[in-house]
Amino acid sequence: MRPSILYPLFSPIDTLTGVGQRYMQLVGNLCGTKVIDLLWHLPSGYIDRRCGIPLIQAHNGQIWTGKVRVIEHVVPKTKKQPYRIIVEDESEQLTLIFFKTYGDSLTKQYPVGAERIISGKIEIFNNALQMPHPEYTVDASFPEQMPQIETVYPLTAGVTNKMLNKLMLQAQRNVPQIAEWVDEKMLRSKGWTDFHSALWQVHHPQNIIDLEPNSPARQRLAYDELLANQLSLAIVRGRLKKQKGRTLCGDGHLRQKLLSYLPFSLTDAQKRVIAEIESDMAANYKMSRLLQGDVGSGKTIVALITMLNAVECGTQAAIMAPTEILAQQHADSMNDLCSIIGVRTALLTGNVKGKARKQILESLKNGEIDILIGTHALFTDDVAFKDLAYVIIDEQHRFGVRQRLNLSQKGKDCDVLVMTATPIPRTLVLTQYGDMEYSKIDELPAGRKPTTTTVMPLSKIHAVVDALQRKIASGTQAYWVCPLVEESEKIDLSAATERYENLQKHFGSQVGLVHGKMKESEKNAVMEDFKNGKIKLLVSTTVIEVGVNIPAATIMIVEHAERFGLAQLHQLRGRIKRGQEASICILMYGFPLSEISRQRLNTMKQTEDGFLIAEEDLKLRGGGEILGRKQSGFNNFRLANLSAHGDLLLTATKDAAFILNQDPNLSSPRGQSLRTLLYLFERDEMIRTYKAG
């Protein structure tokens, strides 16, 4: 139960004065529907409304605040003309301009001869000063009514900054004094105030430094959010460690047999990772481990070897991929090896229907299938195992937590391994996968040649096509990835189709096309033709981004590369690093090219290290869409900025571990306040979700 002290913060914002149903919806669209959501909506700037220079020194576009005397009202002769009020200070005259307003109300607000303090934007028209619709006007007898510093917030249509400031003040009055959860020594060393004061300071900046991520108040609040996140993950991790699992420790006969048939040796990184996974499988608690490996690092063989450990124990294993293409590819690479060593595999996707599906389900239930490879189709209710003990989820970020739990619940005390070829920065590993153990394959197989990456403008597209004709004539295969058009699959498809038709004029039937709107069977047929060499050039949208394995394809052309994120470009380039031949990646850009896009393309040119690229991506995006167009599954922090607060994250991770080591039940005075912190940042929901699994 949420502590009662927090009830005011989790009240709906229509409990605040001046918020009706319509305004609640508008503010809700901007930042959320609870009072706490308002407080987490941080300012982006401020306006200094302190009285300063005389009117004669004011310049165009400046926010000016000062005391003036009303001289006269100029009533418009027609409706098209504005209402004008002439005012002056001791140095100069100023015309206040009003459109679509009532003269009666203006004569009451600005009686001739009265003194007013006004604030608004100065404009110069016909060499005279004017101020359209002053933002603030107060009686000069009550100067305290003029805000000195007005905080500026990100806004949306229908929400004004003045109204948001009024609501923020009300929301801040609802903030209770909460017992401190940050260690006193740390508060002193960082120069931080208590939570209540930090929140007030953040919403009342006095200078530009107060708006920076590393201002003391912002640091304090960012640390609170990071500590709540890391503490909740550490609690989940601790609970998973206590969940009884099953001991999977095979005799190694299948694994040794497999290794003897492999035409290559495992890298040291693969051997280390296999040992880490098998150590978890042998323990008497449920395994929950993330395996991260760059493109082409050999995760699939690691997955197979560890699944054989489960099979040696007389149990079943399953591996789930996000697309049929990737599932089929896993099946192709595993089936041949498994048939040699006598392990029974099957592929189950949405395309497997009728008798074939019925046969697989029966064999699975009877224990006649050792390893099941599939897509989302593995989630369906009629899929039942005889004894599922080990689950691998490939490209984890494409599945939700609940889906992961659903598959593992098809077995008894299943061990779970999640894999990703998308390099994730260390900070995101800590914040998003902190509940899991972590393995990393940081070494590529021997013999892989580097990829030459070239960046060139789209104006040279004809030269690229000519060079491509020569390469394809010599037996090379290539990908041509079409431009990404944000949030518009129709336009994406149109661009891909147009490029495909254009390239057909040069390459004829040697060109194929795949896109996300095609049926899986059609897509698979085209990929099969590309794989067997019938198609030499594959035009595609980003459907080929993850996992597609065609060793003979050694050229990648990305059109309008400036529209792609770094991680996505790295994934695409990875499609041509599957064989032993040298490969070429051509990134073609259009104009205008932003500075961030330029840096992104230069990074791709300078390095192939996916982990370094991921860190650079985090810097350039500031914690934005690390995994491509959308971060699907990645939490967005409201107060913390991972590119600015990486050091605080490491501190919070260590602090969370120390806290739970000293006070595992959070029963001490600090522990009780930390419970409040978890509820404040709504991390209690996350703990319940994981607990359900």
Give 105-133 as a DSSP string: HHHHHS-TT-EEEEEEE-EEETTEEEEES
The predicted-structure confidence for 456-477, as pLDDT tens digits, reads as follows: 999 999 999 999 999 999 989 9
**Which fold does the domain 266-441 belong to in CATH?**
Rossmann fold (3.40.50)
Burial (CB count <10 Å: 0-12, 13-18, 19+), residue 424: buried
Q: Is 632 helix (H, G, I), strand (E, B) or coil?
A: coil
Give CA–CA dist 505/503, Å, rounded. 5
The boundaries of every CATH 2.40.50.140 domain in the chain are 50-152
Phi–psi pair at 72, nearest 5 degrees = -160, 160
Taking a C-beta distance cutoff of 8 angstroms, is the pair 40, 221 a contact?
A: no
pLDDT over 90 (residue 567): no
Residue 370: C-alpha distances to residues 22, 184, 320, 450, 496 (Å): 58, 56, 14, 37, 41
Single pTM value for the model:
0.73
The predicted-structure confidence for 253-267, as pLDDT tens digits, reads as follows: 999 999 999 988 999
Average pLDDT on 37-41 reads 96
- Report domain 50-152's class: mainly beta
pLDDT of residue 625: 40
Rg of the Cα atoms in the chain: 31
Q: What homologous superfamily is domain 451-621 in, according to CATH?
A: P-loop containing nucleotide triphosphate hydrolases (3.40.50.300)
Confidence tier at 487 by pLDDT (50, 70, 90) = very low
pLDDT of residue 486: 46
pLDDT of residue 661: 93
pLDDT of residue 242: 77
For residue 244, what are the contacts with CB-CB under 8 A and spacing of at least 6? Answer: 284, 285, 286, 413
Q: How many residues does the chain have?
A: 693
Taking a C-beta distance cutoff of 8 angstroms, is the pair 270, 301 a contact?
A: yes
The boundaries of every CATH 3.40.50.300 domain in the chain are 266-441, 451-621
The predicted-structure confidence for 184-201, as pLDDT tens digits, reads as follows: 999 999 999 999 999 999
For residue 284, what are the contacts with CB-CB under 8 A and spacing of at least 6? Answer: 244, 245, 246, 247
The mean-pLDDT minimum among 122-136, 235-249, 501-515, 631-645 falls in 631-645
- In what helix (H) or strand (E) does residue 486 lie, and over which residues does it extend? none
Q: Cβ of 277: how many Cβ atoms within 10 Å?
A: 24
Q: Which two tokens stand for residue 108?
A: 């009451």
pLDDT over 70 (residue 503): yes
579 or 300: whose pLDDT is higher? 300
pLDDT over 50 (residue 26): yes
Q: In what order do the strands lie in the sheet with 83-88?
A: 123-125, 128-132, 93-98, 83-88, 63-74, 115-121, 136-139
Q: Write out the E strands in 482-582.
A: 511-514, 537-540, 553-558
Q: Which two tokens stand for residue 391?
A: 């689950």
Give CA–CA dist 541/569, Å, rounded. 12
pLDDT of residue 624: 40
Q: Which two tokens stand for residue 408?
A: 């593992």
